[in-house]
Structure 1
């Protein structure tokens, strides 16, 4: 993804895209199952990698037992998130049909019937909650159930409440980052929670800001709440959140002291440079209104990916005292 392409994307108003033709013949039998998989958003599952955030921060990824429990939590969280996507798309099908991109979603396009989406979402949600209660410790199961209840409340009502909608989506990211530590019994530091929470708010508000710019003049046909936020307010939110996330990370890194015994350099403190550069790089896309899909920005921008790898290498050396 080039910077020029990203910078000009905001200037073009998206027109209604033609719907894909209805499948016929042998493909018709697979249309609903494939549509359910698409509705479950496989590309969004990368967000659930956040379950390893707390164990990685604590240096607790070195055992097969930890890897197995994190894999289980990843699978359960993925099933829970897929359930929420299915229910959300079933409820939002009429509004999605007015959106230039979302109208192509399987439920909005009519490929997956609304009752089928509801049934699949309910089965996945109940299955994830039951498996969490049977296979995980009580706190992990409670956190997973709380995520499901909060997200379902968001689908039904909270997405229409100013500021609360931002808080709920941000809390969903924070829960992903917390659940890995809870599953392994790792204490979560205040700096971890502050940095992760406000980092998530930064990305959520930047996404809303990008959506608001793209849908100007649409009179809230697809996300009515966007008409109640001003671009200036959303810009203020993501700038504030970015600043607090950077401050929290720096205070945490500086609190750990100087060079650890046996380490070559103060890697934890040096990682502040890469973290700040990553935030500044992402802010370029946020400022242009091109951060509508965070995973596309993170995975599609090569400089940001390189900065992320450098940060991960520095952090890994800090954890292992190299």
Structure 2
């Protein structure tokens, strides 16, 4: 039986610790999507120190801006999080971090992050600004709109991918956007299913939009998006946008398909058999088979792109 909420008094000496926890550094793993353009670029940008530094700077800016959004989300949901079996232990919901401290930190992150992004790349700054506006709309209204809520979650990953390409001034492959968007929808739907299963009959009281979903509906959606993701990736490997990768007599990028299939199947196993999927970044960090699969996929992609160039 869930224990009733009991507030604690925030301690100033521990404020940095709880502020960092609320910034959710584990979720910074999502920002690795900014490296996609660097890896799949036509030129050898991965070995170019200047290009690598620009993408690393973009990664850092995403960590800063995304952290401000996490703070806003926790401020908006502070009362509902106190009734959640897991989120009630977050610093704001538990009382370890004062709301005033979170508000000040949010403003500082935004005031520092957006101007720095403008100095790095105007396009990246615009993408981050649009992301902030979109997430504010999500936090206050759009997270209650069925189906649109998962599209907004997925859009965040696409924004990261696009920003990683524009900071380098390279063309954005439509295949890269399609695969990123579909994979992001897959992760978002799995997250909704996890919330629905975890909260059971009380799901709607914590997140109103969950009343509009059912496990059967989400299962159908996940099945559809899983097939679409695999087909899109396979077509991408058969029609690479990188002209330097040989496609005859055998499209070498097709070798990476088994890693993608295994990764998706492993994720489905964790979602349906282990009731995971609420935090993709945590699964990535703690599930060794998943982590090993992603590392091997990355090594294979880079090897094909950089060793077999014409």
Q: TM-score, normalised by structure 1?
A: 0.87
Task: Give the distance between the partners of 2:38 and 2:307, measured in 1 at CA.
Answer: 16
8 Å contact kept, 2:2–2:85: yes
Q: Contact conserved, 1:262 with 1:321, CA < 8 A, in 2?
A: no
Given candidates 260, 267, 288, the residue that maps to 1:275 is 260
**Alpha-carbon distance in structure 1 between the residues aligned to 2:99 and 2:145:** 25
Q: 1:41 corresponds to which residue?
A: 24
Distance 1:261 1:239 in 2: 33
The whole-number CA distance in structure 2 between the counterparts of 1:128 and 1:201 is 27
Does 2:169 align with 1:193?
Answer: no
Pairwise CA RMSD of aligned residues? Answer: 2.5
Q: CA deviation at 1:299?
A: 2.1
Which ranges of structure 1 fall in alignment gaps of 5 or more residues?
A: 1-13
**Preserved CA contact (<8 Å) 1:20 1:104:** no
CA contact (8 A) 2:238 2:251 kept: no
CA distance in 1, matches of 2:4, 2:264: 33
TM-score (norm: length of structure 2): 0.90
The number of equivalent residue pairs is: 304
Q: Does the 8 Å CA contact 1:51/1:178 hold for their aligned counterparts?
A: yes
2:65–2:110 Cα contact (<8 Å) kept: yes
Deviations 1:68-122 (A, max 9, x none): 1112111111111011011111111111111111111111112222232122212
In structure 2, relative to structure 1, the CA distance for the partners of 1:262 and 1:98 (3 Å cut) is: closer
Summarize the Cα distance change of 1:71–1:309 in structure 2 as closer, same or farther, 3 Å threshold. closer
- Matched residue, 2:56: 71
1:236, distance to aligned residue in structure 2 (A): 1.8
- Give 3-state SS (helix, strand or coil) of 1:309's partner: helix
| Residues 32-181 of structure 1 aligned to structure 2 (within 5 Å) | 32-58=15-41, 59-133=44-118, 135-181=119-165
Offset from partner CA, 1:230-253 (integer Å, 9 cap, x none): 111112222222211111111010
Aligned mates of 1:56, 1:259 — CA distance in 2:
13
SS of 1:61's equivalent?
Answer: helix
Instruction: Return the match for 1:315 from 292, 301, 306.
Output: 301
Which of 118-127 and 47-56 deviates more?
118-127
Structure 1 segments, 4+ long, off by >6 Å, are 17-21, 262-265
* 1:220 equivalent in structure 2: 204
Q: Which whole-Å CA distance do the structure 2 matches of 1:103 and 1:265 have between them?
A: 53
Identify the match of residue 298 of structure 1 among 269, 284, 295.
284
- Counterpart contact for 2:8–2:95, Cα < 8 Å: no
Find the counterpart in structure 2 of residue 237 from structure 1: 221
The CA deviation at 1:39 is 0.7
> Contact 1:84–1:125 at 8 Å: present in 2 too?
no
Aligned-partner Cα distance in 2 for 1:30–1:47? 30
Per-residue CA distance 1:123-168 (angstroms, 9 max, x = gap)? 21232112112x1222111111111111111111111111111111
Structure 2 gaps, min length 5: none
Query: How many Å separate the matches in 2 of 1:253 and 1:261?
Result: 11
| Structure 1 position 295, deviation (Å) | 1.6
**Counterparts of 2:4 and 2:301, CA distance in 1:** 44
Query: How far has the Cα of 1:21 moved from its partner?
Result: 6.4
Partner of 1:207 in structure 2? 191
Contact conserved, 1:274 with 1:307, CA < 8 A, in 2?
Answer: yes
In structure 2, distance between residues paired with 1:80 and 1:210? 26
